[in-house]
Amino acid sequence: MNSSVNHPATVETGRLLSPPGFDVEAIRRDFPILHQQINGYPLAYLDSAASTQRPIQVIDAISRYYTHDHANVHRGVHTLSHRATDIYEGARESVRSFINARSTREIVFTRGTTEAINLVAATLGQRLTAGDEILISAMEHHSNIVPWQMLCERKGTILRVAPINDQGELLFDEFEKLLGKRTRLVAITHVSNALGSVNPVREIIASAHAHGIPVLIDGAQAIAHQSVDVQALDCDFYAFSSHKMCGPTGIGALYGREALLETLPPYQGGGDMILTVSFSGTTYNELPYRLEAGTPHIAGAAGLGAAVDYLRQVGMDNIASHEAELLTYASNALSALPGLQLVGTAAHKAGVVSFNVDGIHPHDVGTVLDQHGVAIRAGHHCAMPVMERFGIPGTARASFAFYNTRAEIDQMIDALRLAIRMFA
């Protein structure tokens, strides 16, 4: 597979250690951006939940595509167009196999998670009527709230919100009680970007299916951090973004169960999504093209394909266990600091730690850390209802990827100690 024309980026990845070996220093050498000084300190990039960084293999795949292979897809008779189409469709196959979908017809490329969710709201939403209900949770990112609120405005549907407890865990009993006769879709996050909570998505899906209700999983924060098998999950939709899985921005995917995708009306109209157009009528293309109007982000797909290949070489289980170790290490170190509270202490968490420090606003924490080379996020993390639930304006958030080290967490802790002294 490494020598395939479709996946040129994987050619150089042979030097990565294969499972069970996991060499974080070797991995870091693949990420050029990590090797720089920020404000006089080595960069400690602890903001991968906002966007991950890219390995050289992904950067090379994109540049190789533009240097050698670019043309429009699906329409040319010439060689470059065939190459571009092979790269684009090869990426679709990589994504399919990465999440174990049955068919590439089930992989719709979008601009990212946000567009994937909007696609479902616009198409599946089209056949909903006033009084129909969408069930989400209290820990959703704005992109899994606002498209449904907009649908409610258009259609008179009702948005139900399953509550969470003080640890940031979904109240499963309350969730089940909200599954009703009028529930038409459950849309819920796999992992909370603000709290790190991992939802019991298998149980959620099984429970919704027992009522005949389809389930959309927002996989933005899960896809690069654990292995995802859409058949094992039995979800109906799974949405994710390339830029949170070491791929380029501007592309992502919606997995949809084929039988369900077949029933959806077209999303946007234009080229590529049609078979024939005449003024007496237009016939639509087959899946997944019917849902992908216009010239797609081909270079993005080239990069995403390379990112998927890279993640697989590192190994999703290696990634999950390395990040779990970082999470434990960071949670313990943070908890030991005076006046520090973790926000989100679910029993089952991914590599995200949100926290507040007594008397220091998250924004000030962010600035002090940045001055020490540590990149974290401060604010509401596009989850304002979560902040409201905890009665806080925001949090500081460190988030981890497989290229992070304990040394970077130590650097954050040292800078936090200084912040605490400074603001005391």
CB of 229 to other proteins, least distance (A): 37
Q: How far apart are CA 58 and CA 304, in angstroms?
A: 7
User: What H or E segment, with its residue span, contains residue 72?
Assistant: none
Any contact of residue 423 with other proteins (CB under 8 A)? Answer: yes
Question: Which residue among 6, 10, 85, 113 contacts ligand PLP (CB under 6 A)?
Answer: 113
Q: How far apart are the first and last CA of the chain?
A: 57
Length of the chain: 424
> What token pair was written down for 233?
């999950």
CB contact set of 411 (below 8 Å; sequence gap of 6+): 41, 42, 44, 372, 373, 374
Burial class (CB in 10 A: 0-12, 13-18, 19+), 131: exposed
What phi, psi does 255 have (nearest 5°)? -85, 135
- Shortest CB 113 distance to other proteins, Å: 21
From the CA atom positions of the chain, what is the Rg in Å? Answer: 22
The token pair that represents 209 in the structure block: 């299916």
Spatial distance between the Cα atoms of 172 and 81, rounded to a whole number of angstroms: 50
Instruction: Determine if 399 is a binding residue for ligand PLP (CB under 6 A).
Output: no
Per-residue contact string for residues 207-246; x = within reach of ligand PLP by CB under 6 A: -----------x-xx-------------------x-----
Build a one-symbol-per-residue string for 149-168: x at contacts with ligand PLP by CB under 6 A, - elsewhere.
--------------------
- Residue nearer to other proteins on the CB measure, 28 or 361: 361
What binding mask, one character per residue, do residues 321-360 give for other proteins by CB under 8 A, x or -?
--------------------------------------xx
Within 8 A by CB and 6+ apart from 108, the residues are: 116, 119, 253, 254, 255, 256, 261, 287, 288, 291, 292
Binders in 236-255 for other proteins, by CB under 8 A: none
Q: Which is nearer to ligand PLP, 196 or 288 (CB)?
A: 196
Span from 1-9, 119-127, 131-139, 364-372 in contact with other proteins (CB under 8 A):
364-372
**Closer to other proteins at the Cβ: 291 or 368?**
368
> Among the candidate windows 73-81, 141-149, 302-310, 365-373, which touches ligand PLP by CB under 6 A?
141-149
Q: Which stretch binds ligand PLP (CB under 6 A): 110-118, 127-135, 298-306, 354-362?
A: 110-118
Alpha-carbon distance 110 to 85, whole Å? 17
**Closest separation in Å from C-beta 392 to other proteins:** 9
Active site residues: 382
Asked if residue 188 binds other proteins (CB under 8 A), the reply is no
Q: According to DSSP H, which parts of 216-297 are helical?
A: 230-233, 258-263
Under the rule (CB under 8 A), what is the footprint of other proteins?
A: 39-41, 359-364, 367-368, 371-372, 378-380, 387, 393-394, 422-423
Summarize as ranges the residues that interact with ligand PLP (CB under 6 A). Answer: 112-114, 141, 143-144, 189, 193, 218, 220-221, 241, 382
